[in-house]
């Protein structure tokens, strides 16, 4: 099993560990995942996300190649821009979801840990098939460390810890800065719904930067805590962000999951034909949020209409600490997808009352 | 290190029981709540229900999983902790006090003697 360079730190901090995408990762710390979630919403959370993969695409043909590979429009991106995209197969379903950074001379693509090998193989196969010997695809995950610093006071903390003004970066942009002396690619991006950054830097700096940022928070009176993967999941869930393998997968179309906005139908890309075909035919199911009473609606639980007919299944569900709800994401027939529709989620054999609610369940202060 | 209530008896499935007059109060141990992590939902039986020793009487849901909770002794449920509906984290904060689950009238009081003493439970839980 893989370990990140902060593995010993997590153990010493008393973290509960579990395997995620082949890595032994912290699920929660003694603070508890509910409180970790709330700390991130009110101040700053630090996330060891070194399991995430980074792929760099360079070469004279890189722009054209990346544009044809991913669903989002990318050719209008300027150095420093960052954008969400999907990687689709020919059937128009989702191999992975990506964050793409346009950096000088390269495309820097952040991929999910569990999909990295498949993504790399897919990209290499598309390059071969198109005889793109003018494109270089490299896995940068080993030498690159990745941590996220998220929360309403994250930028204040980063400004204090770095040699340039991170607060001057617009959302979804990136730049180079020294953070506590370490050379970083700083993206004003994240996966919590909060403002904040994701830092990419040489792996050897991992522990120094991690402990240094926590110490800097202490010194400046900015509450900052290490956050495990359980709270990372509830934060992203509440903010309406997808987790591949749940709201997105190779059996889900972006149209069903509400990601038409991430597909630029004015350009060519792998899977476009299938997306257009489905758009014309209409989807047979849609992703909805459900507020549920009577327990935690978990993945795989059946969704029923009021008459008790099966109409879908939960793909992710949990207690949402900020929204203070038990909520689920589920795919249901389009006729039942309207906000306010009464449904049921079968929890341990008992149909529990559920109602379709608007996603996301949480909108941070800076976006209201 | 998890704490233990010296006045309680235990089962290896991590429930505790304590005598409260003629009634028995039950909950889950500090060791159990620590292993489960943040508790977000507790399902309790209806008052009046009669259950046998070892039968599931409720469910405790943590952030990541749902676990059954078993009757440490046979009995008839006479009260459930309503406060857990609004604040299930009481089980994390005070597993032996405010985080109690149910009170029951024992129908086989002799079962008490077969339960684990605090010392025996501590040894058993310590092995996990």
Chain segment B32-79, per-residue pLDDT in tens:
999 999 999 999 999 999 999 999 999 999 998 999 999 999 999 999
Q: Could you say which of B40, B43, B59 has the minimum Cβ distance to residue A319? A: B40
Q: Is the confidence metric ipTM above 0.85 for this complex?
A: yes
Query: CA A18, A20, A25, A31 torsion: positive or negative?
Result: negative
Q: Are residues A160 and A230 in the same domain?
A: yes
CB contact under 8 A, B66 and A230: no
Q: Encode pLDDT of A110-169 as tens digits.
A: 999 999 999 999 999 999 999 999 999 999 999 999 999 999 999 999 999 999 999 999
pLDDT of B38 reads: 97
Domain holding A310, by residue range, is: 284-358
Instruction: For chain A, list residues with pLDDT below 70.
Output: 368
CA distance A144 to A245: 24
DSSP state of A70: B
* Residue A246 CA to its chain's centroid (Å): 12
Q: State the pairing for strand pair A350-357/A342-347.
A: antiparallel
Q: Determine contact, residues A298/B61, Cβ cutoff 8 Å.
A: no
Q: Are residues A47 and A152 in the same domain?
A: yes
Q: Determine contact, residues A112/A97, Cβ cutoff 8 Å.
A: yes
CA distance A169 to chain B (A): 35
In sequence order, what are the beta bridge partners of A314?
A330
pLDDT of A364 reads: 84
pLDDT of A143 reads: 98
Chain A hits for B43, CB-CB cut-off 8 Å, are 294-295
Q: Which two tokens stand for residue A291?
A: 């507020």
Which of A117, A139, A161 is the endpoint of a domain? Answer: A139
pLDDT of A83 reads: 98
Residue identified by tokens 């800076």 is A366
pLDDT of A367 reads: 73
Q: Are residues A74 and A206 in the same domain?
A: no
Chain A hits for B89, CB-CB cut-off 8 Å, are 34
A277, part of any domain: no
pLDDT of A202 reads: 98
Confidence category of residue B2, pLDDT binned at 50, 70, 90: confident
pLDDT of B1 reads: 63
Q: Are residues A125 and A207 in the same domain?
A: no
CA distance A211 to A226: 10
* Residue A270 CA to its chain's centroid (Å): 22
A70, part of any domain: yes
Alpha helices in B1-128 (DSSP H): 30-36, 83-86, 90-93, 118-126
A250, part of any domain: no
CATH topology of domain B9-126: OB fold (Dihydrolipoamide Acetyltransferase, E2P) (2.40.50)
- H or E stretch at A110: strand A106-111
Which of A238, A269, A304 is the endpoint of a domain? Answer: A238
Q: Could you say which of A32, A295, A326 has the minimum Cβ distance to residue B37? A: A32
Decide if pLDDT at B127 tops 90. no
Q: Are residues A101 and A148 in the same domain?
A: no
Q: Are residues A167 and A311 in the same domain?
A: no
pLDDT of B22 reads: 95
How many distinct structural domains can be found in chain A? 3
Chain A hits for B61, CB-CB cut-off 8 Å, are 295-296, 319
Q: Are residues A149 and A131 in the same domain?
A: no
Number of Cβ pairs < 8 A linking chain A and chain B:
41
């Amino acid at each position: 099993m893989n370990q990140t360079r902060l593995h010993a730190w997590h153990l010493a901090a008393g973290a509960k560990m579990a395997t995620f995408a082949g890595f032994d990762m912290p699920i929660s710390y003694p603070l508890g995942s509910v409180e970790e979630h709330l700390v991130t919403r009110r101040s700053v959370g630090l996330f060891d996300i070194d399991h995430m993969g980074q792929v760099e695409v360079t070469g004279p043909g890189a722009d054209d190649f990346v544009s044809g590979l991913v669903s989002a429009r990318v050719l209008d991106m300027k150095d420093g821009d960052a954008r969400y995209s999907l990687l689709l197969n020919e059937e128009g379903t989702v191999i992975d979801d990506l964050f793409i950074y346009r950096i000088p001379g390269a495309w820097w693509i952040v991929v999910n840990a569990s999909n990295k090998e498949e993504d790399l193989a897919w990209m290499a196969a598309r390059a071969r098939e198109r005889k793109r010997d003018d494109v270089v695809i490299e896995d940068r995950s080993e030498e690159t460390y990745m941590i996220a610093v998220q929360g309403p006071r994250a930028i204040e903390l980063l400004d204090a810890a770095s040699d340039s003004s991170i607060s001057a970066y617009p959302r979804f942009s990136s730049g180079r800065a020294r953070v506590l002396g370490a050379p970083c690619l700083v993206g004003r991006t994240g996966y919590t719904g909060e403002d904040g950054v994701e830092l990419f830097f040489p792996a050897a700096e991992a522990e120094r930067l991690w402990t240094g940022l926590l110490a800097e928070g202490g010194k400046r009176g900015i509450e900052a805590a290490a956050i495990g993967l359980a709270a990372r999941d509830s934060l992203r869930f509440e903010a309406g962000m997808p987790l591949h393998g749940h709201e997105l997968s190779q059996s889900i179309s972006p149209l069903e999951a509400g990601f038409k906005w991430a597909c630029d139908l004015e350009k060519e890309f792998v899977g476009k034909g299938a997306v257009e075909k489905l758009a014309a035919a209409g989807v047979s199911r849609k992703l909805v949020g459900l507020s549920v009473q009577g327990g935690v609606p978990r993945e795989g639980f059946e969704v029923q209409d009021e008459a008790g007919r099966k109409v879908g299944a939960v793909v992710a569900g949990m207690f949402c600490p900020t929204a203070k709800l038990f909520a689920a994401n589920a795919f249901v027939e389009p006729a039942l997808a309207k906000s306010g529709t009464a449904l049921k989620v079968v929890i341990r054999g008992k149909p529990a009352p559920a109602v379709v609610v608007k996603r996301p369940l949480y909108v941070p202060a800076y976006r209201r | 290190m998890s704490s233990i209530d010296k006045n309680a008896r235990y089962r290896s499935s991590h429930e505790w029981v304590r005598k409260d007059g003629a009634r028995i109060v039950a909950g889950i141990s500090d060791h159990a709540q620590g292993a489960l992590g943040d508790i977000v939902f507790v399902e309790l039986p209806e008052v009046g229900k009669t259950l046998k020793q070892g039968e599931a009487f409720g469910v405790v849901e943590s952030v990541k999983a749902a676990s059954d909770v078993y009757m440490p002794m046979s009995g008839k449920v006479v009260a459930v902790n309503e406060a857990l509906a609004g604040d299930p984290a009481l089980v994390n904060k005070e597993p032996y006090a405010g985080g109690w689950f149910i009170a029951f009238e024992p129908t086989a009081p002799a079962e008490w003697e077969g339960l684990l003493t605090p010392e025996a439970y501590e040894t058993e839980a310590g092995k996990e």
